[in-house]
Structure 1
């Protein structure tokens, strides 16, 4: 059953991140925030198709992880269709198609991810196929351009064609272009400049569509600033992983206006221990203690005892066989006042990253010419 209508809208979401936003991280994130929208790691359509007899390993999730979005990637329409059909019974709240990953493994050898922005007709066809095979809403995550195809007009052309050829009405826009010349994914998050003006121009030129902004936003204060500037939603990536307590801990109250849960890190860890020890060694040698504890390593970011905690964790990974024993060997590094303190008020930023952005908007996109072309 699709249950997205029962949740708050995706004002805040955690970006899909390979090898990071796995089931363990999403469990931790949901213990901290009840309302943030969570994304899976990107799953290649081929993986889902070839693992059809082992789907639970890739697609199953705990019911408390709602609202949750499945992101898939691929360049073969038949595989995309079959993968979506196989995923549909799992009841994800949205199916997202990856048109933004710049990794050479994906955009190069795999010929999908960000490379698909150069073929909006195919993306429109893929989104139609996905929509026909699922009961869930569909969306696209993309960059603002690829290599030298980085004009605002080309971005609009992509958005127009995909939305005209499919039921897609939600786009997540990473406000940097992708460089496919072999630089690392990390460099692709830093070297291409942020162009927030492209995002806000899309709000102006496509009033019937929904756009979530992504890229360079690292605090709840910046999230709320983007929302006040008119963003339909905000997606945050690595900041939500590396410092989950400080960022996710403020989402429910500061973004959604919900009452504070008053939860402490000690209470979060007590619940996570029950979860962790229930999933250890499910697949023989995996997941091990390191796998399950990995999302916890940012929980005490900038707190007293954090350095010692991480050193003790590295040592404990060598011999601990349960999450309970891992905590027994490491948590004495963290003072009680840190473990037992509820979330404090969100830190404020000194500068508005979107200041003056509307003064830099590109000229409006004229869709009339496109309408004639696709009539």
Structure 2
């Protein structure tokens, strides 16, 4: 498969973003990304969404928000906002941290975000502003820029409206990469969690975009949980695939197969014990770095799904809950909790991925919406 993304000089020495981990508020923090990189060398990592305002107002305290270890490359900074001046300043302030791409959030349905006036997914209703924002971000950085959006908002959910958004943003700004969460967002009082499950997935919209915008790059997001499904989405034509909750809830089972199954690398043979030894070294430098924060609980939180469905898992979680109440170092935390997990589980490298899952994309090309046509009309009257 010819893959054009690596042609950007900045991306040349990284694996292509065939697999990325979604930006998730309060989940994809530095601690989680450290763990994710220990398990997969090739997955692209994203920060939690950072508001441009936060970066601007905390400019004397930026390490706390933007610092990460060099092992985390390739890593994308996701920013949100609706003020062009702050987006410009935030991009400039982030430049010294050398993120590999800057992504603009047009997909978050959180009332904390969407309620701040026009922010997050509401921006899909204003493609002209998104194009301006992307132009401003791109003008203040030398790394690639991308947009993460949904397929629609409330009753603005036709395929044609989605195409209008993509067309306007891509033709009026340097944006050529879109990450598409293949559900619409409902802003009428359902929670962010419900917004990840209630509106139906419409993968046919995503594959319609691939057909109708052959010069752009599209990454698919939403409802994809296994490396088999990742490869199925790519076989159907997706340039990249972004996985969210499965990568957080089951980091070993999901990320453990990325390098071999998605990227074709030989197995590293790494075990969970080896990963935890390295994580402990990181954790003990992280705990208490900013006074009382982060706590052992903050740092260890991404580990809770590491033994998903293994013997000892529920006992390990109970011990972890108890340990969080009094442990002050990661070493103490591990000494107290890992006794719940049998040695053979700790010392077993990742096995073969489970096979035989359904291919959600098998017939997708027969379900595509009618082709997008309104460009020609716009041009006639331009």
Could you say whether these structures have the same fold, taking a TM-score greater than 0.5 normalized by the shorter chain as the test?
Answer: yes
Q: Offset at 1:372? A: 4.3
**Residues 37-56 of structure 1: per-residue CA shift (max 9 Å, x gap):** 00000000000010111111
**1:318 aligned residue:** 325
2:54 and 2:347 map into 1 onto residues whose CA distance is 42
Give the whole-Å Cα distance in 2 for the aligned partners of 1:61 and 1:120: 32
After superposition, where does 1:94-173 map in structure 2 within 5 Å? 94-173=101-180
Residue number in structure 2 paired with 1:54: 61
CA RMSD, 1 decimal? 1.0
Task: For residue 298 of structure 1, give the secondary structure of its aligned residue in structure 2.
Answer: coil
- Structure 1 residue 3: Cα displacement: 4.3
CA contact (8 A) 1:108 1:180 kept: no
Aligned equivalent of 2:70, options 33, 50, 63 = 63
Q: 1:279-317 CA distances to partner (integer Å, 9 max, x unpaired)?
A: 110111001100010000000000000000000000011
Instruction: Give the Cα separation in 2 of the matches to 1:3 and 1:334.
Output: 42
Q: Which runs of structure 1 show a deviation greater than 6 angstroms over 4 or more consecutive aligned residues?
A: none
**For residues 161-240 of structure 1, what are the structure 2 equivalents within 5 Å?**
161-240=168-247
Q: Alpha-carbon deviations, 1:67-126, whole Å to 9, x = none?
A: 000000000111111101111111110000000000111112342100000000000000
2:378 to 353, 370, 375: 370
Q: Tell me the alpha carbon deviations over residues 173-215 of structure 1, each in whole angstroms, 9 at most, x when there is no partner.
A: 0000000112101100111000000000000000000000000
Native 8 Å contact 1:17 1:41 kept in 2: yes
Are 1:18 and 2:28 counterparts? Answer: no
1:274 maps to 2:281: yes
List per-residue Cα deviations over 1:129-154 (Å, max 9, x = no partner).
00000011000000000000000000
2:3 paired residue number: none
Range with bigger deviation, 298-307 or 106-115:
106-115
TM-score (normalizing by structure 2): 0.96
Unmatched tracts of structure 2, length 5 or more: 1-8
May I ask how many residue pairs the two structures share in their alignment?
373
State the shift of 1:371 in Å.
3.7
- Under a length normalisation based on structure 1, what TM-score does the superposition of the two structures give? 0.98
Q: Which runs of 5+ in 1 are unaligned?
A: none
Alpha-carbon spacing, 1:258–1:371, altered in 2? closer, same or farther (3 Å): farther
Distance, in Å, in 2 between the alignment partners of 1:144 and 1:33 is 29
CA contact (8 A) 1:222 1:349 kept: no
**CA deviation after TM superposition for structure 1 residue 359, in Å:** 1.3
